Amino acid sequence: MGVAEDLSSLRDEALDSVASANDLTALEAVRVAFLGKRGSLTSVLRGLGALAPQDRPVIGQLANQIREELEKAIATRRDELASQALAARLQAESVDVTLPGRKRSPGKQHLIHQIVDEITAVFVGLGYCVAEGPEVELEYYNFTALNHPPEHPARAATDTFYVRDLSDEASNVPGECDVLLRTHTSPVQVRVMERQAPPIYVLVPGKVYRRDVADPSHLPRFTQIEGLVVDEGITFGDLKGTLEHFVREVFGSTRRVRLRPHFFPFTEPSAEVDVSCGICGGEGCRSCGGEGWLEVLGCGMVDPNVFSYVGIDPERYSGFAFGMGAERIAALKYGVPDLRLLVEGDMRFLRQF
Amino acid sequence: MRVSLKWLKELVDIPVPLEELIDRLDMTGTKVETVHVLGERLDGVLIGQVLTKDKHPHADKLSYCTVDIGADEPLKIVCGATNFKAGDKVPVATVGTILTGGVTIKRAKLRGLESQGMMCSARELGVGGDASGLLILPEDAPVGVPFSEWAGLGDTVLELEITPNRPDCLSMVGVAREAGAVFRTAVRTPEWVLTESGSPVGEAVDVQIEDASLCPRYTARVIRGVTIGPSPDWLAERIVASGARPINNVVDVTNYVMFELGQPLHAFDLATIGTAQGRASIAVRTAKPGERLVTLDGQDRELSAETLVIADPCGPVALAGVMGGAATEVSGRTVDILLEAASFDRVSVSRTSRRLGLISEAALRFERGVDPELARRASDRAAALIAEVAGGRVAPGIVDVYPLPAKPIELTLRVDRMNALLGTTLVEEEVRQILSSLGIDVAGEGSVLTCVVPTFRPDLAREIDLYEEVVRIWGMERVASTLPGGRARVGRLTKEQRVHARIGEALRAAGLNEHIGLAFISLTDLERIGWTFGPGEGPVELLNPMSEEQSHLRTTVLPGLLRAVSHNQRHDVPDVHLYEMGTVFKTAEGRKLPRERGVVGGVLAGSWNRPGWNDPAPALDFFDGKGVLETLFDEIDVTNWKMRAAEHPWLQKGRSADVIVAGDVVGWLGEVAPPVLEAYDVSGAVTVFELDVKPLVKAVATDVRYREVPRFPAVKVDVALVVDDSVTAERVGQAIRSAGGPLLESVRLFDVYRDPEGATVRRVREGAKSLAFSLTYRAADRTLTDDEVRSIHERVVRKVCAAVGAEVRS
Ligand SMILES: [Zn+2]
């Protein structure tokens, strides 16, 4: 039997082994068996020196061809096996993508403070700063300096919470207590005007108190947002334009605004501000009580009497003020049917917004 | 204020349909709150004819009738009235009708006989005051026709919201004047003819006013020989439309004139007023100590020294401006009337009415202010009407004591200034026209107008008040919208406000939801949680709380948070993660205003999630709360903080800590003590915290600077140290850090091990624990060699062991 025949059967045997290798380990064993340092083909090549010189080139060339062929076959088979293995792994690792994910939900901001922040952003954009003041107030700031006459009904103990005064100071209201829970954020107006000269552009969000039993439309403690502008040349038209801008930003650009003359002790002229109903667009529907309009805030030009309490010259400066309830906006904008939901801390409610 | 449209149209031309009238009134400041259509309720009342009238077999005072109402079968009706006979025509309320006062007519058995409807009196239909018997209709009344249609009852009543500055609009004449100004149409004032006869009033009545400031005017008239009875239908109808109840002709007239002109009046039975020197003697004075009065509603009332009364020589006969007395009331026997038309001090009336809880139409008007100039006109009007509807002769003259005459005031209106304030460009003529239509006399040339304000507009006291009149009648909707120009200004939040917002963001990022509670607590709350105060300090007490549970202002948000947890648990929501940022209050002896403090509190109960297929959802505990605060401090750049074991009555001992920021205690964290949980009806472990906001804001690092991102590799070495149980993790960590020097980049505690209770094989000695740390070494400028790291680490371990008494666990 000639060397050439030996090589040829070696080749067949090797290709068979490559084809039948079922994993990378087996394939490597095949490679070592034929092409390794002591492999069969390597031995043949090593044994070339023993051949007759005239046979050497022919056999050498043949052996090299077989080696190249074998290497190629091994490489191909390796790729095949690798992709099979990967496919198997991916198959094994596949999941039911409809199973729920793993998460820790971030918390939600309270709806009322979302509203406050949204409105604050609108007015900061218009050049306002945010002012704050105490929740327990003096009667002077809450009523007197806001031009409420002594017999004003809001001062009554049926409407306003009064607080025990532990000082020896005489009360500003003879025979009655003059420390109370502020009934609106307006006392902050007075405090701001006392400490700051015009121009004044402030927004005052804060908690206020009224002596109401908690029911679907009342809370004894709720949130007001008040605005105050005092500058030279401020007009009633400026007030209107400001509130229209606010309503468009917060309620949407299609909503209309109307000012209805009204009365507040600390503004003159005063108005209530209605926004067209978002459901019927002003035609009148059940949600707006058939009126087509929803009352959202109160406003007016700062009364000269208020200016005189804080020493601002009403001939030189003019200003406007407006105030609204965040809870009412929550009820109107989000359809919250019962304000008590806002203070219960019910996770199922808080997580909705 | 209820306004009958029929009545209004007699006083002013309304050139527009109802819808537009409502809209224009709304837009000029007289809000229409409700529209009532009268007669609507009488839809089921038909005109019927009594066919037969028999005695009820089982009741003496009842009759049993058949009544034709134009239907196939006559109705069978049981009736208690006696003033009718077979053949009479009467109003019949059929089954289903709802009468004035809310009574629904039903098929009912009366003493064994079925009644299929009800025959009605004038009072029952709300069309008059007579309740003595059935309303007998004329013979020609058409049977079967709806009664309201036949009687022409259809009227529309507008309920107006009158703002407190507009007392003049609490009258038909005032509303008519307003409408006339709005629509620029003619207003007709009521007219009458007063005929006087008999002896002059001055011979019959004498009036003294003690304090003119409490009673600037008091007038009295006398009408003799009246016949008291029900009012005529037209009068009763208007009284009903105005929201009152017809009583008798004289009282109804006084109410009518009040609704018409706005002047409350009172009619006394002249015979019951005590006399002096042969004249009825009226004094307007404050009550004397111990004086009492039985008022019209039958209540015996004790009068305080500040109560203004009308008195005769024997004592008070009426509460001035609020309510009359029972003893001097006009009754069926009254013959001579003393008619009062006066003006009283607003504050005095308001105090009396509030103190006694008596809200009357009269008091309401006096509280807002009644024009003293009205008294005489109103008295004349009422006297003429009484003579008309109740007979009698009006005594010549009027007793008119008027010590403080009201004077119209004069105001200057600068048109330019007005336009500058309103942002309008009105010309003088428009301004003049609007003000005149409101009854204001306008004089002056050019753009400075002199305005004389009538006494019925006490709200117009300053120039600015006139601006408002102009803009509201001209139309606020016509003012062009602008935005303030002004000098450059920048809107921004302060650092404190920005940190405040970041605190909320961080807590939400850590998984907490924001809660806003009511700020009230009770002393029981403070007792339950064991809250204590410094010397002289205490909670802020409300003088007029809504309830015992809300008697004080909160000193901590803790009770509110626990209540929220309880609320959730009661509603089967076990996982509660809340925070609240708000104010807490406390006060001290000598303080007028309490101390207000901003705090942020939080609560964790249950787990982060319900257990899932891939999430075991362990119960939340102290370390979840601590993790929330770690997130918070990290997010708001507070680095100088630590926790120290502490005891608080509301927290479980051994699982509670003080939170220390920049060396000061700023709050606490811990698991709620079991008795407190029980008191708030809460179950399971609940972790809470509360921190003061102010020191947090102060501790926020303002200059966060870049540190180089490492470029060379680090070497990590783990070490487990066995220390006494009393040695805190924080102390060991600090010892490692201080021994590590600049090359020790970070230290992480990754395991705490104690032998389990009763372990047979001890891995660490008794009373000790093993803390395993991972130390990371790195140099900023080169790669550390193994030898270098080994020698640093050995030195670190040696130092730490010496410092905290640790040994390396092998
Ligand atoms: Zn609507």
| pLDDT(B39) > 80 | no
Distance from CA of A352 to the nearest CA of B (A): 11
Looking at the fold, whether A177 and A324 belong to one and the same domain comes out as yes
Chain A's closest residue to B357, CA to CA, is: A158
B26 contact residues in A (CB cutoff 8 A): 260
- Per DSSP, A165 falls in state -
Report if residue A103 sits inside a domain. Answer: no
Looking at the fold, whether A46 and A193 belong to one and the same domain comes out as no
Nearest to A348 among B166, B540, B573 (CB): B573
Characterize B751-789 residue by residue with b for buried, 16 or more Cβ atoms within 10 angstroms of its Cβ, and e for exposed: eeeebeeeeeeeebeeebbbbebebbbbbeeeebeeeeb
The pLDDT value recorded for residue B489 is 81
CATH class for the region spanning B413-478 = alpha beta
**For residues B304 and B248, is the Cβ–Cβ distance under 8 A?**
no
Asked if A316 has any chain B CB less than 8 Å from its own CB, the reply is no
Looking at the fold, whether A59 and A167 belong to one and the same domain comes out as no
Asked if A201 has any chain B CB less than 8 Å from its own CB, the reply is yes
Contact assignment for B543 to A130 by CB distance below 8 Å: no
pTM to 2 decimal places: 0.84
Please report, for the domain that includes residue A175, its CATH number: 3.30.930.10
Looking at the fold, whether A214 and A83 belong to one and the same domain comes out as no
B517 contact residues in A (CB cutoff 8 A): 343, 345
Residue range B435-445: average pLDDT? 93
Looking at the fold, whether A159 and A40 belong to one and the same domain comes out as no
C-alpha of residue B480 to centroid of ligand 1, in Å: 26
B565 contact residues in A (CB cutoff 8 A): 345
Domain count, chain A: 2
Q: Domain spanning B201-401: which superfamily? A: Phenylalanyl-trna Synthetase, Chain B, domain 3 (3.50.40.10)
Chain B's closest residue to A111, CA to CA, is: B514
Residue range B610-630: average pLDDT? 94
Spatial distance between the Cα atoms of B732 and B768, rounded to a whole number of angstroms: 13
The answer to whether domain B495-699 has CATH 3.30.410.40 is no
Characterize A172-197 residue by residue with b for buried, 16 or more Cβ atoms within 10 angstroms of its Cβ, and e for exposed: eeeeebbbbbbbbbbbbbbbbbeeee
The pLDDT-based confidence of A1 (bands split at 50, 70, 90) is: very low
Distance from CA of B322 to the nearest CA of A (A): 16
Q: Return the SS3 of B769.
A: strand
Query: Which of A344, A351, A352, A353 is the best mutation test for B, with the most CBs of B within 10 A?
Result: A344
Asked if B305 has any chain A CB less than 8 Å from its own CB, the reply is no
Instruction: Give the distance, in angstroms, between the CA of residue B14 and the centroid of all CA atoms in the same chain.
Output: 35
Report if residue A98 sits inside a domain. Answer: no
Residue range A128-132: average pLDDT? 96
Among candidate residues B759, B747, B632, the one with its CA nearest the CA of residue B697:
B632
C-alpha of residue A287 to centroid of ligand 1, in Å: 5
Domain layout of chain B by residue ranges: 2-39+155-183, 40-151, 201-401, 413-478, 495-699, 715-808
Report if residue A243 sits inside a domain. Answer: yes
Answer with the one of A45, A61, A92 that is the final residue of a domain: A92
According to CATH, the topology of domain B715-808 is Alpha-Beta Plaits (3.30.70)
Distance from CA of A149 to the nearest CA of B (A): 10
Which residues make Cβ contacts (< 8 Å) with residue A339, sequence separation at least 6?
A: A214, A215, A216, A217, A218, A219, A222, A327, A330, A331
Residue range A17-29: average pLDDT? 90
Looking at the fold, whether A312 and A180 belong to one and the same domain comes out as yes
Spatial distance between the Cα atoms of B741 and B522, rounded to a whole number of angstroms: 54
Interface of A with B in 20-79 (CB under 8 A): none
Give the CATH number of domain B40-151; options: 3.40.50.620, 2.40.50.140, 3.40.50.720, 3.40.50.280.
2.40.50.140
Looking at the fold, whether A88 and A116 belong to one and the same domain comes out as no
Distances (CA, A) of A226 to A123, A127, A325: 11, 15, 9
**What count of other Cβ atoms lies within 10 Å of the Cβ of residue B696?**
26
Residue range A320-329: average pLDDT? 96
Contact assignment for B514 to A231 by CB distance below 8 Å: no
For residue A241, give its domain range: 111-350
Contact assignment for A345 to B515 by CB distance below 8 Å: yes
The pLDDT-based confidence of B41 (bands split at 50, 70, 90) is: low
Instruction: Give tens-digit pLDDT for B499-551.
Output: 999 999 999 999 999 999 999 999 999 999 999 999 999 999 999 999 999 99
Distances (CA, A) of B438 to B259, B453, B455, B490, B785: 20, 9, 12, 44, 98
Looking at the fold, whether A86 and A161 belong to one and the same domain comes out as no
Spatial distance between the Cα atoms of B4 and B156, rounded to a whole number of angstroms: 6
Query: Which of A166, A182, A224 is the best mutation test for B, with the most CBs of B within 10 A?
Result: A166
Spatial distance between the Cα atoms of A21 and B439, rounded to a whole number of angstroms: 114
Looking at the fold, whether A72 and A121 belong to one and the same domain comes out as no
Contact assignment for B550 to A304 by CB distance below 8 Å: no
According to CATH, the topology of domain B2-39+155-183 is Phenylalanyl-tRNA Synthetase; Chain B, domain 1 (3.30.56)
The pLDDT value recorded for residue B737 is 94
Characterize A209-226 residue by residue with b for buried, 16 or more Cβ atoms within 10 angstroms of its Cβ, and e for exposed: bbbeebeeeebbbbbbbb
The pLDDT value recorded for residue B488 is 67
Residue range B688-707: average pLDDT? 92
The pLDDT-based confidence of B301 (bands split at 50, 70, 90) is: very high
- Per DSSP, A145 falls in state G
Asked if B347 has any chain A CB less than 8 Å from its own CB, the reply is yes
Q: Which tokens in the block code for residue B57? A: 């077999």
Instruction: Give tens-digit pLDDT for B46-74.
Output: 999 999 999 998 888 899 999 999 988 99
Answer with the one of A92, A120, A142 that is the final residue of a domain: A92
Contact assignment for A347 to B424 by CB distance below 8 Å: no
Looking at the fold, whether A83 and A130 belong to one and the same domain comes out as no
Give backbone dihedrals phi and psi of A319, rounded to 5 degrees, phi first. -165, 170
Spatial distance between the Cα atoms of B532 and B516, rounded to a whole number of angstroms: 24
Chain A's closest residue to B483, CA to CA, is: A238
**What count of other Cβ atoms lies within 10 Å of the Cβ of residue B611?**
10
Interface of B with A in 566-595 (CB under 8 A): 567-568, 571, 573, 575-579, 582-583, 585, 587-594
C-alpha of residue B5 to centroid of ligand 1, in Å: 27
Spatial distance between the Cα atoms of A227 and B333, rounded to a whole number of angstroms: 63
Equal CATH topology for B2-39+155-183 and B413-478: yes
Distance from CA of B509 to the nearest CA of A (A): 5
Distance from CA of A238 to the nearest CA of B (A): 5
Residue range B307-332: average pLDDT? 94
Report if residue A102 sits inside a domain. Answer: no
Nearest to A236 among B421, B487, B571 (CB): B421
Instruction: Give tens-digit pLDDT for B568-616.
Output: 999 999 999 999 999 999 999 999 999 999 999 999 999 999 999 988 9
Asked if B33 has any chain A CB less than 8 Å from its own CB, the reply is no
Report if residue A97 sits inside a domain. Answer: no
Percent with pLDDT over 70 in chain B = 99
The pLDDT-based confidence of A235 (bands split at 50, 70, 90) is: very high
Contact assignment for A238 to B518 by CB distance below 8 Å: no
A271 contact residues in B (CB cutoff 8 A): 476
Spatial distance between the Cα atoms of B293 and B301, rounded to a whole number of angstroms: 5
Distance from CA of A174 to the nearest CA of B (A): 14
Instruction: Give tens-digit pLDDT for B721-779.
Output: 999 999 999 999 999 999 999 999 999 999 999 998 888 888 888 889 999 999 999 99
Contact assignment for A123 to B491 by CB distance below 8 Å: yes
Spatial distance between the Cα atoms of B531 and B525, rounded to a whole number of angstroms: 9
Distances (CA, A) of B134 to A245, A278, B41, B142, B622: 63, 52, 19, 17, 81
The pLDDT-based confidence of B153 (bands split at 50, 70, 90) is: low
Asked if B423 has any chain A CB less than 8 Å from its own CB, the reply is yes
Among candidate residues A329, A353, A109, the one with its CA nearest the CA of residue B580:
A109
The pLDDT-based confidence of B264 (bands split at 50, 70, 90) is: very high
For Cα atoms B144, B147, B149, give the angle at the middle one, nearest 5 degrees.
Answer: 105
Instruction: Give tens-digit pLDDT for B452-503.
Output: 999 999 999 999 999 999 999 999 999 999 999 877 688 999 999 999 999 9
Instruction: Give tens-digit pLDDT for B376-413.
Output: 999 999 999 999 999 999 999 999 999 989 999 999 99
Distance from CA of B392 to the nearest CA of A (A): 41
Question: Hunting for tokens 């199973």 — which residue is that?
Answer: A99
A138 contact residues in B (CB cutoff 8 A): 592-593
Question: Hunting for tokens 């005031």 — which residue is that?
Answer: B409
Asked if A262 has any chain B CB less than 8 Å from its own CB, the reply is yes
Nearest to B164 among A110, A162, A263 (CB): A263
The pLDDT value recorded for residue B152 is 66
Asked if A249 has any chain B CB less than 8 Å from its own CB, the reply is no
How far separated are the first and last CA of chain A, in Å rounded? 90
The pLDDT value recorded for residue B113 is 87
Looking at the fold, whether A69 and A150 belong to one and the same domain comes out as no
Answer with the one of A33, A62, A92 that is the final residue of a domain: A92
Residue range B141-170: average pLDDT? 86
Asked if A301 has any chain B CB less than 8 Å from its own CB, the reply is yes
DSSP H or E stretch at residue B735: helix B729-740
Contact assignment for A238 to B483 by CB distance below 8 Å: yes
Interface of A with B in 86-145 (CB under 8 A): 99-100, 102-110, 112-113, 117, 123-130, 134-138
Looking at the fold, whether A218 and A323 belong to one and the same domain comes out as yes
Nearest to B516 among A112, A177, A258 (CB): A112
Instruction: With both helix axes pointing from N to C terminus, report the angle between A111-125 and A326-334 in degrees, rounded to the nearest 10.
Output: 100
Q: Which tokens in the block code for residue A139? A: 């009667």
Contact assignment for B421 to A150 by CB distance below 8 Å: no
The pLDDT value recorded for residue B148 is 79
Q: Return the SS3 of A105.
A: coil
Nearest to A345 among B472, B507, B578 (CB): B578
**For residues B209 and B401, is the Cβ–Cβ distance under 8 A?**
yes
The pLDDT value recorded for residue A291 is 85
Contact assignment for B590 to A138 by CB distance below 8 Å: no
Instruction: Give tens-digit pLDDT for A86-108.
Output: 999 999 999 999 998 888 899 99
The pLDDT value recorded for residue B100 is 67
Nearest to A263 among B165, B512, B608 (CB): B165
Chain A's closest residue to B460, CA to CA, is: A268
**For residues A114 and A353, is the Cβ–Cβ distance under 8 A?**
yes
B564 contact residues in A (CB cutoff 8 A): 344-346
